[in-house]
Copies of this chain bind each other. A is one copy, B any other.
Amino acid sequence: MVYIGIDVGGTGIQIGVVDENGRILAKGDTPTLVGRPFEDIVRDMGNCMLNTIKEGGFTTADVAAIGVGVPGIADNQTGNVIFCTNLGWTNVPLRTELQKYLNKPVYIDNDATVAGFAESVCGVSAGRHSSVFITLGTGVGGGIVIGGRPWSGFHGIGSEIGHIPMDMNGEPCTCGNYGCLERYTSATAIIRMAKQQVLQHPDSMMHDLCGGDLTKLNAKMVFDAAKEGDPVATKVFNRYADNLAQAIYTIIAFLDPEMIVLGGGVSKAGSFLLNAVKERLPRYLIFKTLPYAEIEIARLGPDAGIIGAAMLGRN
């Protein structure tokens, strides 16, 4: 039997036929074209799924289940997507609609939860009892796995790690609260801090890397300049690493998983970031002599969305 994994993004929908070990056997994609009626998006999704199955040399009889990762909140009782801000979806019956194209069990979960689950099936946290995955991108998402199973909360509104307050008197967040964790640990936070610094220090290497156009400054440029020893970029990088270490400490103090996995665009910095965070983490730990979570960089890259979604059906 095989499992269909569908990763729904704001730009494209990635679809894979996946075996029970999380290996992708066939892949397809179709543009999301946000703004269309929900039924039209699901029609393209359904047809792309059927094509991918066929082109991979499988039949619909080989398919055990379908899993879908969405950038939002889903209710697995009803199979409805409750909120998907990027897609403009509110209470859409995704399961019912998708089953019109292939009548198999459909499981839906948050994209960060699904990506974290993929890492725990066949990525860096494979075989670990428990893990928390953090996506460090434009925002910050979280994926919790406990006892080998994804946990997005009893009501499906948990693992919103990006919106835990780190500074209740801090900066306003898009969610309406103040000082949320993603204000300090996202790629957006790096860019915001770097811009402030470049304005004060126009001699920074970051100024050259973005061609003098601060609207083009991105997190990679900041890290690249820091690697080269640029003092202003190093200051931003150190501040960011401190923030991320505190965020990781929060996960340890609350849930103490076996492993914490860093994913998303910022995690591409690899060992440069990982080493800086690991070096800073112990200063925040309460029990300085006791074992705590291993911290690792995610391994599956963009395929994590397909794999994790497919594996929802295996569970």
Which B-chain residue is minimally distant from A162 (CB atoms)? B253
Contact of A146 among B129, B146, B161, B175 (CB under 8 A): B146
What CA separation (Å) do A160 and B257 show in the bound complex?
13
Contact of A290 among B155, B252, B256 (CB under 8 A): B155
Q: In the complex, which residues of chain B have a beta carbon less than 8 angstroms from the beta carbon of A83?
A: 287, 290
The minimal Cβ–Cβ distance linking A232 to chain B, given in whole angstroms, is 22
Q: In the complex, which residues of chain B have a beta carbon less than 8 angstroms from the beta carbon of A256?
A: 152-159
Which B-chain residue is minimally distant from A179 (CB atoms)? B167
What CA separation (Å) do A166 and B164 show in the bound complex?
8
Q: In the complex, which residues of chain B have a beta carbon less than 8 angstroms from the beta carbon of A130?
A: 154
Q: Report yes or no: A255 in contact with B255, Cβ–Cβ below 8 A.
A: yes
What CA separation (Å) do A257 and B82 show in the bound complex?
18
Q: In the complex, which residues of chain B have a beta carbon less than 8 angstroms from the beta carbon of A148?
A: none
What CA separation (Å) do A255 and B152 show in the bound complex?
7
Q: Report yes or no: B286 in contact with A254, Cβ–Cβ below 8 A.
A: no
What CA separation (Å) do A315 and B250 show in the bound complex?
28
What CA separation (Å) do A168 and B255 show in the bound complex?
19
Q: In the complex, which residues of chain B have a beta carbon less than 8 angstroms from the beta carbon of A177?
A: 249, 284, 286
Q: Report yes or no: A164 in contact with B292, Cβ–Cβ below 8 A.
A: no
A267 an interface residue at 8 Å Cβ cutoff?
A: no
Assess A255 versus B252: contact at CB under 8 Å? Given A155-B293, A290-B82, A291-B155. no
- Chain A residues 241-285 with CB under 8 Å of chain B are 246, 249-250, 252-258, 283-284
A151 an interface residue at 8 Å Cβ cutoff?
A: yes
The minimal Cβ–Cβ distance linking A86 to chain B, given in whole angstroms, is 15
Q: In the complex, which residues of chain B have a beta carbon less than 8 angstroms from the beta carbon of A167?
A: 165-170, 179
Which B-chain residue is minimally distant from A160 (CB atoms)? B253
A163 an interface residue at 8 Å Cβ cutoff?
A: yes
Q: In the complex, which residues of chain B have a beta carbon less than 8 angstroms from the beta carbon of A292?
A: 155, 157
Q: Which of A161, A249, A256 has the most CB of B within 10 A?
A: A256
Assess A254 versus B146: contact at CB under 8 Å? Given A246-B165, A287-B83. no
- Chain A residues 272-315 with CB under 8 Å of chain B are 283-284, 286-287, 290-293
What CA separation (Å) do A286 and B83 show in the bound complex?
11
What CA separation (Å) do A286 and B176 show in the bound complex?
8
List 19 interface pairs A-B (beta carbons < 8 Å), by A numbering. A82-B287, A83-B287, A142-B254, A144-B255, A152-B256, A153-B257, A154-B293, A155-B258, A155-B293, A157-B256, A157-B290, A157-B292, A158-B254, A164-B250, A165-B167, A167-B168, A168-B184, A176-B286, A177-B249
> A83-B287, A165-B250, A166-B167 are known contacts; what are 20 more A-B pairs with Cβ within 8 Å?
A82-B287, A154-B257, A154-B293, A155-B258, A156-B290, A157-B253, A157-B292, A158-B253, A164-B253, A165-B167, A166-B166, A167-B169, A167-B170, A168-B184, A169-B169, A175-B286, A176-B283, A177-B249, A254-B254, A255-B255
